[in-house]
A and B are shown apart, each in its own frame.
Chain A
Amino acid sequence: MHPDRLSRITGGMAGFIRTGVYPEGFPESWQPGLTLYRTLTRSILSDMVDTAFPICKRRIPETVWNDLTELFIRECPLHSPRLWEIAGNFAEFHRNENTGVRLGYPWLDDCLNMEWIELELFNRPDQPGWKFKAPTGRTGEKVSLIPDHELLVLNYPVFRTAGPGLKPETCFLLLFRDPVSLTVQFINLQPVGALAAECLRNEPGSCEDITDRIYKLAGISPDRDAMTRLFTLFRSKNLLTRISKEKQ
């Protein structure tokens, strides 16, 4: 018995599935079976990637998109036993490879990141012990942002799926998991709105507190009515949660 028979066979099979290079010393008779396993494995991975990134996939010619998946499977070892998490590996891999810029899709990083965050937020473990408490809307009430959110600064408006091609534009996208419906939604914020969200996530506060904090932070005095409207919008989206007395 060869002590490394098991390693040689399992390693060779895994290598072939990822790269398509037929292992030296493997009999020809194994080729049809190995090719079938290569097809099956790749369809699991490409289905996952396609499902995770529908917007990116729609924006890129199919052959190019398939090449991105191909390169990813060949080059990126996948360490998570949880299949859905490979979407995060895919976004990270192509960011590190600078794929978007190289292929003439400079918006690709933004789009991959946005769609990955959307998936991650949908699946993210619940904060232990946290419960959503809808604010009353009373003036002066201190609130905080719900925990399941991410504020993205984008260089391209990749969330706009209709209209002309993508032109550079700085956007502040607040993605969040609605604590009631548990669906993931987003708001495209103005710079002041993004500042308000940033202030709120750092420390709870009332509408007035946040207006003051924005002044201290950025030296601008946001319009009070606009701030009230922003808070009303946040509240209607279940983005704000009441904080307990002892935390105030």
Chain B
Amino acid sequence: MVGIGFRKEFSETLPRVRKDKPDFIEFAPENWMKTGGYYHRQLQKAAEQYPIFCHGLSLSIGSPDEPDWDFLADLKQFFKDVPVVRYSDHISFSQVSNAHLYELLPLPMIEEAVSRIAVKARQVQDFLERPLILENPSYYLVTEADMTEADFISAVLRESGCGFLLDVNNVYVNSVNHGYDPAAFLRSLPAEQVSYLHIAGHLKQPDGFLLDTHGEAIADPVYDLLKLTLETLSREVPILLERDFNIPAWPRLREEMNRIRRIQTEVREVQFAS
């Protein structure tokens, strides 16, 4: 299964796509809940044709704040109105003292953050009555760290019992920016908890630093890392192409989805043969 992030820019195109259709769509529930009008109608049309994954931005699972119960109540209602198959958010924080910052900020990689996430994840899942999936984020700053990133993510997933949304581009971006081997990193993550994958483009700065923009085409090394990920997983999981900015014409996105599909097929055939 290969899906695409649902964007207003191609919301009119998507319901009309016949050739190489995405297998599912994903969007941030915050941008669509409690709305009506034109884009809501486009969403309804798309929802009639495509399975829906929701990928949240404002759960702020790692911040010391209590869960935002009003938001969760709205979310629960939204999940009743729209047939959402999977719900994910990020291992990060975006809200402090009941004020949102609308950016995914990096958590200190410390035991206290692990336990906080475990407690909040349980509260969220109990309230929503559905599993929560958590994504490894990209990050540009390490504040305090008592463990490696791989150990931190593994601990979060172990303690919370959440599903794992493995973002391959984030692994690549972080490996370049923080100087580690992405393959070794991948192998140290709990493969059995992976629920689905994200892949996206990033922007290379003149000094070589990478920004996780979702505004460019997927880079070749990220495709290579996707292949390695699929080989490591040795089972099929859905893969979602994220494209949030500089959105190109549909055929370009279709090409990227097809390249992902070819990698999926290639890995599947090799595994089948052996």
Contact = CB atoms under 8 A, between A and B. Distances in A.
Partners in one complex: yes
Contact-residue bracket for chain B: 35 or more
Nearest to A33: B141
Contact of B64 (A6, A78, A182): A6
Interface stretch (B92-100, B153-161, B214-222, B249-257): B92-100
Given A1-B111, A6-B112, A6-B116, A79 B40 contact: no
Contacts of A44: 102-103
Given A177-B37, A183-B38, A14 B141 contact: no
Contact of A10 (B71, B102, B105): B105
Contact of A9 (B31, B71, B111, B144): B144
B137 interface: no
A3 B112 CA distance: 8
Contact of B36 (A18, A36, A41, A123): A123
B103 A41 contact: yes
A83 B140 contact: no
A219 interface: no
Interface of A: 1, 3, 5-7, 9-11, 13-14, 17-18, 30, 32-34, 36-37, 40-41, 44-45, 77-84, 86, 121-126, 148, 177, 182-183
A77 B97 contact: yes
Contacts of A182: 37-38, 41
A125 B140 contact: no
Interface in B111-126: 111-113, 116
A17 B62 CA distance: 17
B231 interface: no
B36 A14 contact: no
B99 A6 contact: no
B141 A10 contact: no
A5 B97 contact: no
B102 A37 contact: no
Contacts of B37: 121-124, 126, 148, 177, 182
Given A37-B103, A41-B101, A79-B100, A10 B62 contact: yes
B19 to A, nearest CB: 29
Interface in B1-52: 30-31, 33-41
Contacts of A14: 96-97, 99, 101, 105
B64 A1 contact: no
15 contacts: A1-B110, A5-B108, A5-B144, A7-B64, A9-B143, A10-B63, A10-B105, A17-B103, A36-B140, A37-B105, A78-B100, A78-B102, A82-B34, A126-B36, A182-B37
B146 to A, nearest CB: 8
A85 B35 CA distance: 11
Contacts of A80: 100
* A-B CB proximity, top 8 nearest: A33-B141, A126-B36, A77-B99, A14-B96, A81-B58, A182-B38, A125-B36, A41-B103
A6 B110 contact: yes
Contacts of A11: 64, 96-97
A122 B38 contact: yes
B54 interface: no
Name which of A3, A10, A126, A177 has the most chain B CB atoms within 10 A of its CB: A10
B154 to A, nearest CB: 19
Contacts of A41: 101-103
Given A30-B143, A33-B141, A83 B110 contact: no
B95 to A, nearest CB: 8
Given A78-B101, A123-B36, 8 more contacts: A6-B113, A9-B144, A13-B105, A30-B143, A40-B103, A77-B97, A80-B100, A182-B41
A125 B41 CA distance: 11
Contacts of B40: 125-126
A1 B111 CA distance: 9
A34 B102 contact: no
A13 B31 contact: no
